[in-house]
A and B are shown apart, each in its own frame.
Chain A
Amino acid sequence: KAGVTQTPRYLIKTRGQQVTLSCSPISGHRSVSWYQQTPGQGLQFLFEYFSETQRNKGNFPGRFSGRQFSNSRSEMNVSTLELGDSALYLCASSFLDSFSYEQYFGPGTRLTVT
C-alpha cells in the first residue's frame, strides 16, 4: 500500500500570501488529521476530517482552514500568512479514527514564510 503523500514538500511564501497544502491518505483511510510542528510549540493539532466533515478542531485562528473530498484527500489552506506560520505541516490518516487505530503520517510540507 502506498503511504500518506503530501504535496508540495517544500514551499516558500511571503507574508500576506495564502497557501494550500495537499494530503492524500492511505487507500481506505477515511480520517485525515493535520498538525503543525514548530521548534517552539512542538506538535499541535490543527483539525481532523472524517467523511468530508470536520470533526475536531485545534486552537488555531480562522486563517487556518481545511476540507476533505469524497475520495478522502484533504487540503489545508492558510490565508494572510505570518512569519510565525513557518513550520512543518504534517498530515496523518487512519482507518477509522485515532481512538482505535494508529495514525500514519506523511513526510510533511516544510513551509517557510519570509
Chain B
Amino acid sequence: SQQGEEDPQALSIQEGENATMNCSYKTSINNLQWYRQNSGRGLVHLILIRSNEREKHSGRLRVTLDTSKKSSSLLITASRAADTASYFCATVPTDSWGKLQFGAGTQVVVTP
C-alpha cells in the first residue's frame, strides 16, 4: 500500500506559470522527499525536508511541510517545458529506516 497521496493526479499549465501539488501521508515520518520522473525513466531527487522543518527552497522549488496535518506541498515557480514530468512525494516512516514510501504521483505537463 502507498503511504502518500498526491493531489492533483494531473496538472496542465503553460510555461511561466506556477505549479503546485500536494501530498498527504498517514504515519509519523523522519523526512519527506520529492522526486521527479521523466517518462518511465529513473527518479531524480529534488528536495528533502526533515520533520522538524517547515519550509525549504531549492532554485525554483519551494516545499512546505505541515506535520500536524500530515501534508506537504511542492511549488514550482516560473515553470518550463522541461519541467514536464511526474512528481512523487516519498516519506521515510519513523519505524522504517531505509524504506521510502511513495505516493501515486502528480503528472505535470507544461506547454510552451
Contact = CB atoms under 8 A, between A and B. Distances in A.
Interface string B86-112: 001010100011111111110000000
B27 to A, nearest CB: 14
Contacts of B40: 88, 108, 110
B104 to A, nearest CB: 5
A79 to B, nearest CB: 23
Given A42-B2, A42-B104, A43-B88, A98 B42 contact: no
A99 B30 contact: yes
A105 B44 contact: yes
B43 interface: yes
B42 A97 contact: no
A106 to B, nearest CB: 5
Interface residues of A, number: 28
Contacts of B35: 105
Interface residues of B, number: 26
Contacts of A90: 42-43
Contact of A56 (B2, B41, B96): B96
B99 to A, nearest CB: 5
B33 interface: yes
Interface string A89-105: 01010000111001111
Nearest to B100: A98
A42 B102 contact: yes
A58 B99 contact: yes
Interface string A53-79: 001101100000000000000000000
